[in-house]
Structure 1
Amino acid sequence: MARAHRLYWRTNLVLISVLMLIGFMVSFGIPLMATRLAHVRFAGFPLPFYFGAQGAILVYVALIVVYIVLMQFADARLQRTLAIGKTEP
């Protein structure tokens, strides 16, 4: 059981790290590259404006949804592991 808990928390920490890295890139990477992307237009607006005004919010919501879904899978896997451990003598 201790191994299952360690795997669960390692999965959780890796997932959080990856999602936070993506959030960091959206928050700071796109604004830092804004001058290079200013000539690209999306839906009539310059691409950096779109990312700042709309796209970043959508990415953050998507990151939350991805975290919820992946952690539900991890929770279910841990529950199965614990249930199997309880039935064995």
Structure 2
Amino acid sequence: MRWPRKREFMVYYYLFLRCGGEETTIERLTEAVRATFYYNSKTAKSIVRRLVNLGYIVRLDRSRARIRSPDEVLLELLGQYLINRSKQVRELS
């Protein structure tokens, strides 16, 4: 998982505030992004798809999804950072 870009992060955080950890549809998320941020449908779909690929949105099946909480996301990023950092320190030793 990588850090999102500014636009992706703003969309992720908005969707989390709006939907929380509840299940929702991908179409509903895309429509919320389109309506709130004034993106066209293609851009809104692309941003939601990127958030799914990055792991910020979890697909439950083909049409349903859940937004991961910021705590959940940051905990995973912290774990990955610590693993990478320990590898770097070992290589220097």
TM-score of the aligned structures, taking structure 2 as reference length:
0.32
Higher share in helix: 1
Could you say which structure has the larger radius of gyration? Answer: 1
The answer to which structure has the higher strand fraction is: 2
